[in-house]
Structure 1
């Protein structure tokens, strides 16, 4: 069977998740390529792809539904990422009996939009809000938990600081290597303001952001990986950082997992900000872990998943 798929053709063929559209051959090829098929214990998880429109984008979404789910995990991927890179997080959630719903952000993965670009981070909030509508339409079981990696964490942070008390996701919020400021932000910001009138983007530099030796080669061969860093995204990030660092405090208490060998985000600064913005967030540090925690070595994933599982079980009981 072929593992080839055309992102634009696949997206155009999709209906809303609520239509319960059977998986096409191209959809199955996508799932095989990213090992998203047959997840969960005994392979009894129902999985399907769908599409919704918001903010001028066509957003591809995906649902994994175990038998008799007890809660839902709303999963938000990071910058340059897409749903296909999150198998380990999805499997962990399925083991806990959670349904998992996710989507590719604008300009990422199977969704439409200029690759890896955005004009304003508020567009990400529109997508997250629309994903909640999908979960409500599908009557996914509550509580709804949030999980965001890196920029996905930034999206969750923004949501919690501005809508925490009214959020439909009143379960736990998980931040994996969350972005507030990237590493070397001062120089990056200066470069942006100097170059923005002349440069629309720069070639992406792939870096070792996981200790797993096979992850970087896979990223470099991944057909859904953007190859350039758009200047517009850096400008949107600059505005977002100022907004978040001046936002009011939240009574929410997220779970934060952070690697001390993370060379992508300015994690010491970020944790100080998050400690100030949230009510006693629970932080789990991993000395050797790098940035892409969702694709770290199995032994590293096992350690932070154990931490998260204990907290999630406590939430379910309470």
Structure 2
């Protein structure tokens, strides 16, 4: 990853995604900083409006794309961290549309916060509208890591999925975080006294270079956990666990060394909510599957490639 960039200047210079053309010098610096190497492919970096939020988004087009992957990152993350997933999708012949969630990356909003998880659904719907405006090829496969996966679970269970939707890939999906009962108790005690607490970074990947970059060199990493986000999650969890079953069958990848989400409970919920979901377990993998070590990434990319090869 190359020299640093200036996030505030880049955000101020972003153009509407539907009208964006070749990457500006500032956008090229951003791409280089996060290690993207698809410089020869047509691509865009811009924004679209979703309610009160200005959502940063990126698009890549391989030659003669045969489908599209719409990518949602995890909590505290942003699209700049997902080059491995994007590389895999482009290699599959998929166009890619990657969104920065509100309060994350280059998007607007209070950092790492949300008042209601319904706002994420509004962002996803606006992103799907962008996919249509850009004439991205169907089927539109969906992929979400952790909180991104939670947004997709919500969409499949409570929304009205577009006819263009293909497969849904859930990487270490969030339903309940680990130690959820304790987290709820702490939230009820703290919510009237503090608005945020310092973030505790975890060893959520076996890749030491990624962990160091996340903790020490990524200027887009939030440094606090807002209690508002925990409150929104506490309202969302029981609603999604009570939701009616779906006939859809997502592809789920789960690491069994995941210390971020309550993955055993979550897989039970997802097996109950969906019709025979296909679950690929990686005994050694930690939570941040998008940035696990290459050998673990390759194992689940091979699994996904077999199922999306048609």
**Per-residue deviation, residues 177-204 of structure 1 (Å, max 9, x unmatched):** 0000000000000110111000111100
Q: 1:72 aligns with which of 63, 68, 74?
A: 68
Distance 1:86 1:163 in 2: 26
**Per-residue deviation, residues 238-279 of structure 1 (Å, max 9, x unmatched):** 001011001000011000000000000000000000000000
Secondary structure in 2 aligned to 1:21?
A: coil
| Structure 1 match to 2:173 | 178
Report if aligned partners of 1:146, 1:169 keep a CA contact under 8 Å in 2: no
Unaligned stretches of 5+ in structure 1?
A: none
Aligned Cα root-mean-square deviation (Å): 1.2
Unaligned stretches of 5+ in structure 2?
A: none
Question: Is residue 98 of structure 1 aligned with residue 109 of structure 2?
Answer: no
Distance 1:206 1:103 in 2: 23
Distance 1:87 1:225 in 2: 16
Secondary structure in 1 aligned to 2:47?
A: strand
Distance 2:206 2:152 in 1: 25
**TM-score, normalization by structure 1:** 0.94
| Structure 2 match to 1:10 | 10
Matches of residues 1-318 of structure 1 in structure 2 within 5 Å? 3-36=3-36, 38-39=37-38, 44-163=40-159, 166-220=161-215, 221-313=217-309, 316=310
Distance 1:261 1:60 in 2: 32
Structure 1 segments of 4 or more deviating over 3 A?
none
Secondary structure in 2 aligned to 1:187?
A: helix
Report if aligned partners of 1:132, 1:168 keep a CA contact under 8 Å in 2: no
Distance 1:307 1:265 in 2: 22
Report if aligned partners of 2:22, 2:43 keep a CA contact under 8 Å in 1: no
What displacement does 1:3 show?
3.7
